[in-house]
Structure formats: structure tokens, C-alpha cells
Structure 1
Amino acid sequence: MLKIVKILGKLIASLLLLLIITVLVIIGIDSYRTGYLKTDAIDQAAHNSYVITHVNVIPMHKDTVYQNTSVYIKNGIIAHIADTISAPNVPTINANGKYLCPGLIDMHVHVWDTYELGLYLANGVTAVRNVWGMPMHLRMKEALRTNELIGPEFFTSGPKITGPEFIGDDNLQIFSPEEATEKVIDFKAKGYDFIKAYYGLPKDTYDAVITQAAKETMDIIAHPSQKVPYSYHFNPQIRSIEHAEDIVQQPLAYTLDTVALARVVDTFAQSTHTAFCPTLTVYNNIYQILQNDTILQMPKLGYMNPLIKKVDSQASFDRWYQTKQKDTGVVVRIKAQHDFHLKIVKELHDAGVPIICGTDAGIGITLPGFSLHRELAFYKAAGLSNYEVLKTATINASQTHSIMNHMGSIEEGKTANMLLLESNPLTDITTLQNPAMVFSKGRRINRETLETFETKAYDRNNLWVSALRYAENLIIEK
């Protein structure tokens, strides 16, 4: 009997060792495949300080264009802006009349792998706010902070905090105010930047989250909870409220009531510390699914993380396809609500509420990087001018959190996160889709390299490593 136990023990140990080796091999292969995003793989000349000449600067902290200007970048920081700049022994980039604007910021994303960092840069996104934090995001944040990887500046919340009711394993259930306090302390210690408060959070627990977040100097990002009034979220610790559809679903009680909306807008406008992140794209994608039964076969879906495509994209499609079979009127209702979302954005904007661009990229069929341009197009359709649209993804976004104040405009002392564009986005917003050059913390990336980032991320084979990282989160944070 003892001999059998020893044999079984050795067998189990061997299987565990084999499992560990397999996991390490899978992770190692994925790291190798994303080596093109390591900074030592980028042209070393891109690291230097330089002067950009003959460029038209769109600063975004004010509504103007500096014509035929020079910009001196020194060690990744905007050091000087003037008509002409003398900087001996510093390389010069002749912009030949192109336009320079701040890099774009997506304030509501879900990042699943390193490949997506390249997709964001390829689309001119030089900073992201990840709002579903996991252990892998802390490692990613550190690799970007230390310049091991090149990518957008990376800010992340901790796991999504919800209440005691189970609403999916993607949420962290909190069962008491005391536990909420402990979690906020823990998230701060681990290195998360923000708290993500989610649907289902009851008032006593929410109060504890807000109190401790203030002590830890951690801003809160709020997916509105139905357990408290919508107006509860206008708290100074809550720096942004997400999702236009939640205005319809909560204070408007699933109606497209313009009178009730006016009351919400008036209350929102009285809160001088809270921005609004509409995420119109992810809701509009429901309409796209309802309109196209073969949408999951679209070539562009090759840019989605394969695990998300297999699980979440498919689940979204199945849900809405089945709904359409039972209720053909759903197509008209979803389109009507999307159009109402445009009205929400315009009225909040007109009332002085800061609109910040967020897409919910990384879930459903919402593509990392690419979706930001759809989001901006919706703001334009809502009635915002090109300048106002661009503000949502630059200066407005950067002013939401103090840790992001160093970006969002082209001013001396700001980080050189910038886009070099062929034409003026204030007259043609679509020029943002194909930057001639992207500057990420001063490191310049040309168009050819940006296109390589897209190619490398297309139809990537990293489903298993993504599953392992998600499993890690379930083990550690549950």
C-alpha cells in the first residue's frame, strides 16, 4: 500500500511539473511573439531628443492653431514651443506643414493582451484607462512605466467591485462595508490606480468604498449601481460616471423621456467634479449585431482577442440574435435608444458637463483602438464641433484624474504623447485614423511600424495564454 502511495505521489508531482512547464512554455511563446513591442526592437534613434520644424500645432488647451511652428522634445518632454528653435546637435524632423495634436486617450477599455497595446498606438491612442483590473494589468503597467514595452500610457482600476448578489464571475463580490474598506486598502497597496464601482453595489458598502478611497487618494470610476439613486454618484470622489445607456435604464426607467432627461442633466451640471463617459460604440454594436447575422465573420473581428471573440463576442451575438427571433421590434427600439444617447451627450455637453471619450473596447465586438474613431464620430453626429470632439479624447480626458494631468495638450512641460497628421483634424476629424507618426512619451513611431503593429495583432493565436491570465485573476482576486 505504501508503495502505491509513493508511486501516486510521484505521478502527481510529475503531472504538476509537466503542467508548470506547459504554462511557462505557453507564456514564453506569447512573450516572444510580442517582442516587436519591446523598446529595444524599435529604432534606437527614436529615443533621442529632437526638434520638429515647420509644423502646425493644435495645442488643445485653447482653441487655436500655431502655424508653421517648431517644437523641441527633450527626453520625452515638450521643452519648448516657438517660431524657431536653436538646439545644436539635436536631430530635426521637418514636418513639411503637417499638423501636430495631442495623442488620443480612451477612458474606458478592457485590455486582454500585449498585442492590443500596438493596436492602440496604431490608431493614435497614446493613453488608456483600463477599467477591469487584474494581476496581469499590474505587470503590464510596470513594463510600460519602465519602458520595457512601448505602448500607450497605462492606467488601471482594480477589479470591479459589486455587492453580495452574484452577477458574474467577472465581478468581485463584496459582502460588507468592512470588506469593502479592506479591498480598497489592498488595491492601493498592489498598485492599482483607481477603484471601479460596479452595478449592484449597495449604499452601506458604497459609502465605505468612497470613504476609504478618499483616505487612499484613489479616484472612483462608477458604472452606476441600481442599489442607490443615480444622483448618489455625484460625489467628489467619483471622477467619472460611465455609460449613456445607464441614464436611460436608471433615472429614466427605460423610457426616452426628454423631460426626465432635462432633470438629470440639470443635476449632473451642478456637480463640478464629475465627468461623463458615454461609451456609445459598445451600445451601438448591439444594433450592428441585430442588423447583421454574419457579423462575427467580419474580417475586422480578427483584431479581437481570440478568447474574448470565442466567449464574449459569441455570447453577445447569441443573446441578441435570440432576442430578435422572439421580438422583431427590438431592432427599432435599440436604434431609437442609440439616437437618444446622442441627445444625452449633446445636452450634457451644452450644460457644461465634461464629456470624456470611452469605448468599452475589448468586449463584445468593440475593437481596441479602432473603436475610438467610431466613438468620436458619434460625438460629432450628436452635434459637437470637431474641436469639442477632439477635446473629449485629449484635454478633457487628461483633466479627469490628477495622475493624468501631464498629457492631453501640447504645452511646455507636458509629456510628448502626440500625433503627426497629414491634415487638420479641426476640419477633417477622420485624419486621426491614420497618423503619419505617433509619439509615445517622446519615442517616435512611423506609419510603417504602426502598420506592422496591426499586422502582428491580426488573428493572433494566444487563446490559451489569455485563459491562463484570466484564471490567475479568479484564483487571486476571488
Structure 2
Amino acid sequence: MTKSLFALFLLIPLSTLSGFSQAYVISNVNIVTMENEQVLEDRAIFVEDGEILKILPVHEPFDRDTFQEIDGNGAFVYPGLAEFHSHIPVTEQGDTQLQEETMWLYLANGVLRVRGMIGDQSHLTLRDKVDSGEVAGPRLFLSGPSFRGATVTSPDQAVQMVKAQKDAGYDHLKLHPGLLMDEFLAISKTANELNIPFGGHISLDVGLEASLKNGYKSIEHMDGYIEALIPDYSRVMDPKIAGPFSMLLVNEADLSKLPELVDLTLETKAWIAPTLTLFDRYFGAKPAEEYRGIPEMKYMSADQVQGWIDAKTPYEKSGVLTKEHVQPYLEFRNMLLMTLHRAGVPVLMSSDSPQVFNVPGFSIHHEIELMSKAGMTNYEILKSGSVNPAAYFGQDGEWGMIKEGAAADFVLVSNNPLEDLTTLQSPLMVVMKGKIYDSDELEEQLRRIASNHTKE
């Protein structure tokens, strides 16, 4: 993000633009509405009270006493991106610095909606502050603390956890491995009764089929599919044989079973969150130490970066992450994504951040590149980060599209993202609930965050 907006905003002084949230019109823009693949050229977007009031051809007259005008100078507008597998930091002794930095990292990369996947009480407070405007940030959808072998002790206790998280105001439930079948069934039954969505990893004792049939809404990391395709399930149960995420077993997968699993996924209306970049970086062949110096690591603390290196290094030392093991595994995951996607299983843009070598916001652009290489079109990729996340929470058309009556959540970029995905990496302006963040403000926040984590 280096381009100044000085030339873009001629009718409102640049010094007063950032944070601007009154009634205004952004004229002379081209709109990627995401209602379809068409681009509305030479349009003006009218915003008032955080909502898109109307969209008109640029030369249509309007009341300039009511709406202050911003010249978009031919920029392209789209609804922004999603990170639908995020690990939002928790507060440490009341210190909210990392949380607030993470929110800015998302905004500065055009990420306007985030689904938290390991919850904490402090996330509820953060969401309230973002909603009130006290803290700048994207739309937040939160899970509570995860359900896993270490936190679930019985079916009855699991039921109480579900009820407590629903009452606390979390948006969905996150399930981790280690659940027994009776515990899982208690969770799914209660969650379905309370109408709170749930999903996550697939516990080996439960399996993909039972997870789908009992209401899993999102399969994180496309988890469970490899395991369901292995003829000898006992090999899946042995981590020394299977490797991380069953990496070492992909060549044993019986692909004749895959169509049945795809049909079941469609039948149960489940979604997938691929997190391709997590596997490319965490379980890829590139040495951990080489990630230390990549540009976006300057926004993370030295301890965090070292922790990520320490997380990957044991796999390297064990010989698991050789190209011989990694390449077939990543190719299998791409094949699985495209098989599910082409069949009609909806995809949620997700990278798993902050997580091993995935810096919030920046990792979404790595995810987009990998989705494109796997075979998704630009429109399909944009849809996974806009229309689909809104539909996931039953808020179709309320946001994730640029249309009259929708929330004023959108991003201005230089080029048409339907033709050039790299333009998404350099937002000219971010509008979140009608509030404007210009590129100067976004750059200043990035500089501030980097200075907080200067490496010696």
C-alpha cells in the first residue's frame, strides 16, 4: 500500500477524510457488486448512516447540500474480503494492544469480516467495542472456547457448555479433535435445538460421515475427508503412521469413495473453509527459518515469530516435511477443494490467522493466490469472501454485496479485481459501516504496529 489518495479526493480535504462518516457520495467509480459478474461503470455510491442509500450513474444530479462528494477517480469498488478462520488474540491482564492491532491488520488488507474460531470472553467485549465504533475493526462473528478432549468431560457437561455459550452471545461453536461419539452427539443435539451453528475439526472417534449427518455446518481445513477415504482406519488412528492431518496417507486414499462424500456434504448443506495457506506454510517444504524475514513478519512480535518457527521445526527434524511427502499432500488438497467446489459445496475464504506464518490480513492474500492456482476463478474467489460469509450466517444481501439497502462495507482498489487479484493487496480506501479509512491512515497504522514490534 503505497499509492496516496491525494489525487482521488478533490472535493473533501484529505486531512479530514479518514474517519469521515457523514452523508456522502463517492462518485466516478466502477462497482463490482457481487450480485453477478458484471461491473457497473461510472457510478456514484450514496452513503448515509452506515448504509448504501442509492447507486446512480455518475452524471445523475443530486442534492449537494445533503451529500458531500468524494471523487473516486475511476477506482473499482468491491465488498471487501473475509477471514473466516481467525484466532483473535485474547487480552493479557486487560491489555488490548494485540487485539486492536489485529483489527487494524485486517482493515489495512481490505478484510471486513472475521469469524473467530477459538473464543474468549474478551472477544465479546472487543466485538461490542467494534460495533460501537470505539475500536476500528471488521465485522466479528465469534465462537466460544473450543469443545475438545481436554475441555469436554461428559455428555452432560458438554450440553451445559453449549447452553452457556449460546447464553453468552457467541455466534457459533468450534469443535476440536478428541471428542468421543456420545459427547459429540450431545453437543450436536443441543446446538441444533438452540439453533447455534457448529463446526471445526473432525474427531477420529466421530468421523466425517457422522459429523455431517448430525449438523456440522463448516468443515475447517477440509478436515476428515482424507481419513474417510483410507480403507484401513486403524492407520489413521496412529499419528506416527498418519503424520499431521494424515499427510502421509494420501496415497492410500480410495478416491472411488469421494463422490459419495461429496454428495453427503451437499445433502447436509455443509460449508468448507480450506485454509490452503496454513498447510502451504506450516506443513510445506519451505524451511521455517526462511519465513522469519518475510515482510509481513514485522507486524508480529519476535516471540510470536519464534513460536511459529518452533512449531514447524520438529516436523522438519522428523523428516515429515520433505518434498516427497509435501507435494502429493498439497496437490491432494487442491484436488479435494476443486472437487467439492465444482460440485457446489460453498467455500468460505479463510487462512487461519494469526497462525503459523499467517499474519492477519496479509495471509488472506496468500490464500487468494493459492485458491487461484487451485483453479477457482476470480469471481468465485471474491464470492467466497463476500456473498458466502453473509449467507453462512443467514444475512444474505445485508452485507457482502454493494447494493441499495446493504451496509456500507466496501473497498476501493486501482484495478478490476475480476481481472487482477493482486490489486486487492493495495486498498486505496476502506469503508466500514460507512466510516472511511483512507490509505494514509491505513499506512500510518501499519507503521505504528511495526514500530511496536521492532526486532533487535
What TM bracket, shorter-length normalisation? 0.7 to 0.9
Map of 1:70 onto structure 2:
44
Letter in 1 for 2:123: H
Map of 1:446 onto structure 2:
438
Map of 1:323 onto structure 2:
318
Task: Name the CA distance, whole Å, in 1 between partners of 2:224 and 2:18.
Answer: 47
Q: Compared with structure 1, are the counterparts of its residues 49 and 184 closer, same or farther at alpha carbon in structure 2 (3 Å cutoff)?
A: same
Map of 1:455 onto structure 2:
447
Q: What 5-or-longer segments of structure 1 have no aligned partner? A: 1-40, 167-172, 464-478
The one of 375, 391, 395 equivalent to 2:383 is 391
Does the CA contact (< 8 Å) of 1:323 and 1:330 recur in 2?
Answer: no
The one of 163, 173, 178 equivalent to 2:156 is 178
Map of 1:199 onto structure 2:
177
The one of 99, 102, 108 equivalent to 2:85 is 108
Deviation for aligned residue 1:238: 2.8
Q: Structure 1 length normalisation: TM-score?
A: 0.80
* SS of aligned partner of 2:78: strand
Q: Compared with structure 1, are the counterparts of its residues 44 and 105 closer, same or farther at alpha carbon in structure 2 (3 Å cutoff)?
A: closer
The one of 195, 213, 223 equivalent to 1:217 is 195
Deviation for aligned residue 1:59: 0.8
Q: Compared with structure 1, are the counterparts of its residues 58 and 199 closer, same or farther at alpha carbon in structure 2 (3 Å cutoff)?
A: same
Matches within 5 A, 1:328-477: 330-402=322-394, 406-458=398-450, 460-461=452-453
Asked whether 1:99 is paired with 2:73, we answer no
Q: Deviations over 1:307-362 (max 9, x none)?
A: 53343x133232223123xx6x7332112211211111111111011011110111
Deviation for aligned residue 1:411: 1.6
Letter in 2 for 1:124: G
Q: Structure 2 length normalisation: TM-score?
A: 0.84
Does the CA contact (< 8 Å) of 2:75 and 2:414 recur in 1?
Answer: yes
Deviation for aligned residue 1:194: 1.1
Deviation for aligned residue 1:81: 1.6
Q: Deviations over 1:426-460 (max 9, x none)?
A: 01011111011111111111111111122122263
Deviation for aligned residue 1:236: 7.1
Q: Compared with structure 1, are the counterparts of its residues 236 and 409 closer, same or farther at alpha carbon in structure 2 (3 Å cutoff)?
A: farther
Deviation for aligned residue 1:300: 2.7
Q: What number of residue pairs does the alignment pair up?
A: 410
* SS of aligned partner of 1:424: coil
Matches within 5 A, 1:100-179: 100-112=77-89, 113-163=99-149, 166=150, 173-179=151-157
Deviation for aligned residue 1:134: 1.0
Deviation for aligned residue 1:155: 1.3
Q: What 5-or-longer segments of structure 2 have no aligned partner? A: 1-14, 90-98, 231-235, 237-248
Deviation for aligned residue 1:88: 3.6
Asked whether 1:86 is paired with 2:83, we answer no
Compute the RMSD of aligned alpha carbons. 2.4
* SS of aligned partner of 1:199: coil
> Identity across aligned pairs (percent)?
27
Task: Name the CA distance, whole Å, in 1 between partners of 2:402 and 2:19.
Answer: 22
Q: Compared with structure 1, are the counterparts of its residues 370 and 247 closer, same or farther at alpha carbon in structure 2 (3 Å cutoff)?
A: same
Letter in 2 for 1:300: E
Map of 1:234 onto structure 2:
212
Task: Name the CA distance, whole Å, in 2 between partners of 1:286 and 1:335.
Answer: 13
Q: Deviations over 1:275-332 (max 9, x none)?
A: 1110111010035564454433444322235553343x133232223123xx6x7332
Letter in 2 for 1:105: A
Q: Deviations over 1:396-426 (max 9, x none)?
A: 1211112576211112221111011101000
Task: Name the CA distance, whole Å, in 2 between partners of 1:210 and 1:315.
Answer: 35
Q: Tell which structure's C-alpha radius of gyration is larger.
A: 1
Does the CA contact (< 8 Å) of 1:134 and 1:158 recur in 2?
Answer: yes
Q: Compared with structure 1, are the counterparts of its residues 294 and 64 closer, same or farther at alpha carbon in structure 2 (3 Å cutoff)?
A: closer
Deviation for aligned residue 1:43: 5.5
Deviation for aligned residue 1:462: 11
Letter in 2 for 1:267: L
Q: Compared with structure 1, are the counterparts of its residues 431 and 298 closer, same or farther at alpha carbon in structure 2 (3 Å cutoff)?
A: closer
Deviation for aligned residue 1:102: 0.3
The one of 272, 278, 288 equivalent to 1:282 is 278
Deviation for aligned residue 1:248: 2.2
The one of 56, 61, 83 equivalent to 2:35 is 61
